[in-house]
Amino acid sequence: MTKRESDLESAFCEPTAAKIGTVSLRPFSLGTLSLCRKLNLTLFLEGDDGLTDDEKQRQIVTFAWMQSEPLQRVLLAIRSGCYEDEVSEFEFGLAVSDLPDLMVEIQRLAEMAAAASVEVESKPGDKPEANSPK
């Protein structure tokens, strides 16, 4: 089994929440992956290449918020467009002592998310068909 296959299997096989200091993170799911895409959490999809420290912190805190707050509250905040306010409020409740362990867990989850992320590419030499979807 390759590392990617192992990470992919791990990504969807963790049945319980991870307790990181004062924060309990829900297991990684397909919904988590979708929200990472929707909220532009590239750290979990592409890695941290080129991200500023401020952007990394924003993405880490946003991820911790969306994985630890009640799901209905998270979805409502995202749908209503006020999730950034919710994330800012959540950030004040994070203990500084939680950050090292949270960062380790988030790095592990980011590797699993990258393994789970699938992009379809055209075959070399393929030509788009006239009636194919864009």
Name the nearest CA neighbour of 61 among 20, 8, 118: 20
Helix (H) / strand (E) containing 62: helix 53-68
E strand or H helix at 105: helix 99-116
How far apart CA 18 and CA 113 sit, in angstroms, is 16
Q: What's the whole-model pTM score?
A: 0.71
Closest by Cα among 117, 119, 103 to 7: 117
pLDDT truncated to tens, each residue of the chain (134 aa)? 666 555 555 555 555 567 787 888 888 888 988 999 999 998 877 777 788 989 988 988 999 999 999 999 999 999 999 999 999 999 999 888 888 888 888 777 767 666 665 555 556 665 655 555 55
